[in-house]
Amino acid sequence: MTTESKSFGEFSPPVRLLLGPGPSNLHPRVVRALSAPILGYLDPYFLTLLDETMELLRALFRTANRLTFPLSGPGTAGMEAVLANMVEAGDRVAVGVNGLFGQRMAEIVRRHGGELIEIAAAWGSPIDPAQIEEVLKTRGPIKAVALIHGETSTGVLQPLSEIGRLCREHQALFIVDTVTSLGGAAVEVDSWHIDLCYSGTQKCLNAPPGLSPLTLSDRALEAIKARKSPCGVWYLDLKLIEQYWSRGRVYHHTPPTLLIYALREALRVILEEGLEARFDRHRRAALALYSGLAALGFELHVPTPYRLPSLTTVKIPSGLDEARTRQSLLEDHNIEIGAGLGPLRGKVWRIGLMGQNATLATVLTLLSALEQILRAQGRLEKPGASLQTAEKAFLDA
C-alpha cells in the first residue's frame, strides 16, 4: 500500500494531565489565541503586538532591559544564542554543572571555542557561591559565569543574588537559564545583576513550545557588539535579531506569528493573577505534593532549601517498578510524569506543577491515581492518608 492510498486516522490526540518536566497544559485563553487570524510579519497590528509582548516580558523578568523579546526557537535555542553571541575563541567562561542542562551549557561553550571552567556539584545540590568566588579571584579574567536557575534534570533551585553581586564585582557577565523557573518562581533580572537570561514558553508560562523569552542588559549588548569576529551562528546572531525587535523592524527571519499570539495571552494571564500570588500558589502546591508523597512513603531527592517549586524529583522506593507505575499513570489515568535523566535514570521521577497545574486539585488528582496504583500492587498502607495530608499542608501554608 502506498502512502497515497493509505487511510490515515482522524487527528485526535488524547487529553492528558501533563505533570512531567514539560510541556505543560495550555491555558484555555492561550488555545483561543492560537486560532486567531494570522497576519503579515510587518503588519501594523502585529508590530503593536510585538511591542506589547516585549513590555509584558519585561514585567515577568523584572527588568528594564530594552532588548527583551521572544526568540524564535525553544529554550535550547535561547541557550545557544546567548552563549554563541557571548563566547569567542579563548574566552574564559565558568559554567555551573550540577545536572544535564549545566552539562549542555558547558558543551556549547566548548563548541564555540571558549576556555571552559567547570564548577561542579552533585546532581541534587546547588552550586556553592564560594566556588564561584574562588574561580573569579584565581582564574580571571572571566568573561562570563553561566548557571541554571531551575535545573530540570534534578529539581534544584539555584540561589542567584549573591552570585550576581560577585560577577558584577569581578566584571564578569552573568548568564542564567530560567527555562523551568520563569513564571513559577521569582526571577529578578535587574536586582540580581543578570546580564543574559533566557527561558522557554512550554513550562510555567502554559504556552506552546517554540519560543525562548530572552533579555539582555546593556553590558551584554556592548560585549556582543565588541566581538572581534562575527557570531558563528547566523540565525542566532543577536546583533541581527536586535534590528527586527527595535523600532526599525529590519526583517531577519520568519517569526512564528501564532506562537507570539499565544505567548502574549499567556503573559496577560500571568500578570492578571499577580506575580507574588502566582509564586505563592506554586509554593503551596509544591508543599502539598511533598506532604502527600511523604504519606505514601516516598522521599524527595533535593534538600528542602533548594527545591524548585515547579519541578519535584522523587526517589523511587526499593522494589517499586518505576516504569510500570509511570505507564499505568499514563494509560489508566491520563497523567504524565517524567523519568529521571542521566545518573538519575531509574532512580527518580520528575513531577511538574507548572503554571495553571500548580493547584491543590491537581496534586489531589495525582495522589489519588498513585494510591489506586499502589493499592493494586499491595503497597498502600493507609488509603486516603496522602490526600488528607496534602490538603492540610496546602491550607496550613
pLDDT tens per residue, range 309-342: 999 999 999 999 999 999 999 999 999 999 999 9
Q: Which grid cell is 96?
A: 555551573
Amino acid 247: pLDDT: 84
> Residue 14, CB half-sphere, CA atoms under 13 Å: how many?
10
pLDDT confidence band for 9 (50 / 70 / 90):
confident
**DSSP secondary structure string for all residues of 362-390:** HHHHHHHHHHHHHHHTT--SSTTHHHHHH
Amino acid 5: pLDDT: 65
356 near 25, Cβ under 8 Å? yes
Query: Is residue 202 predicted with pLDDT exceeding 70?
Result: yes
41 near 251, Cβ under 8 Å? yes
126 near 306, Cβ under 8 Å? yes
Q: Which pTM does this prediction carry?
A: 0.96
pLDDT tens per residue, range 369-379: 999 999 999 99
Q: What is the mean pLDDT of residues 74-100?
A: 98
Alpha-carbon distance of 259 to 334, in angstroms, equals: 26
pLDDT tens per residue, range 349-370: 999 999 999 999 999 999 999 9
- Calculate the average pLDDT of the chain: 96
Q: Which grid cell is 335?
A: 497523567
Query: Is residue 4 predicted with pLDDT exceeding 80?
Result: no
Kind plus residue range of the DSSP H or E element containing 147: strand 144-148
Amino acid 347: pLDDT: 97
DSSP β-ladder status, 92-97 and 144-148: parallel
- Go through the domains of the chain in sequence order and give each one's CATH number: 28-271 (3.40.640.10), 275-396 (3.90.1150.10)
**Does the annotation flag 350 for ligand binding?**
yes
Amino acid 232: pLDDT: 93
pLDDT tens per residue, range 92-112: 999 999 999 999 999 999 999
Amino acid 1: pLDDT: 60
Q: What are phi and psi of 28, to 5 degrees?
A: -55, -35
Q: What is the mean pLDDT of residues 120-131?
A: 98
